[in-house]
Amino acid sequence: MSRYFSKDHEWIEVSGDTGTVGITDYAQGQLGDITFVELPQVGQSVGKGDAVSIVDSVKAASDVYTPVSGTIGAVNEALADQPELVNSAADGEGWLFQVTLADANELAALMDEAAYRAYVAEL
């Protein structure tokens, strides 16, 4: 599996033609305590950069953008009852949705982990 990062602080972990998407640990830290997550609809077609989810926190509501184009294949149902999973496990159990990639070449525009860490260090 390969993990990529966007400048909007989303990560996508790709296995085959499926990408699992979440927000980075940095992003959840900036948001504070997550109180609600609005997830996209399964079957929804999305374009790279589209706002497809909303994460509400005690500080603000923040859009989550899909880092690739494709079709939403699954959403993390556990977040309905446990939105705090995004805080406690942003890089794992707190994932938001899965997308079937329309064009794997879009991944080339994203950062690897080292590049993302360097990007965050400059913020």
Please check whether residue 73 lies inside any domain of the structure: yes
Report pLDDT for 1: 75
Please check whether residue 84 lies inside any domain of the structure: yes
Question: Can you give the residue range of the structural domain that contains 70?
Answer: 2-102
pLDDT digits (tens, 9 = 90+) for 84-95: 999 999 999 999
Please check whether residue 92 lies inside any domain of the structure: yes
0.85 exceeded by the pTM?
Answer: yes
Report pLDDT for 110: 98
Residue whose C-alpha is closest to residue 36's, from 52, 23, 55, 22: 55
Residue 85 sits in a domain whose CATH number is 2.40.50.100
Please check whether residue 120 lies inside any domain of the structure: no
Please check whether residue 91 lies inside any domain of the structure: yes
Number of structural domains, the chain?
A: 1
Report pLDDT for 47: 98
Q: How many whole angstroms from its chain centre is CA 2?
A: 14
Please check whether residue 119 lies inside any domain of the structure: no
- End-to-end distance of the chain based on CA atoms, in angstroms? 28
Please check whether residue 116 lies inside any domain of the structure: no
The Cα–Cα gap between 44 and 39 comes to 11
- Residue numbers of the chain with a pLDDT score lower than 70: none
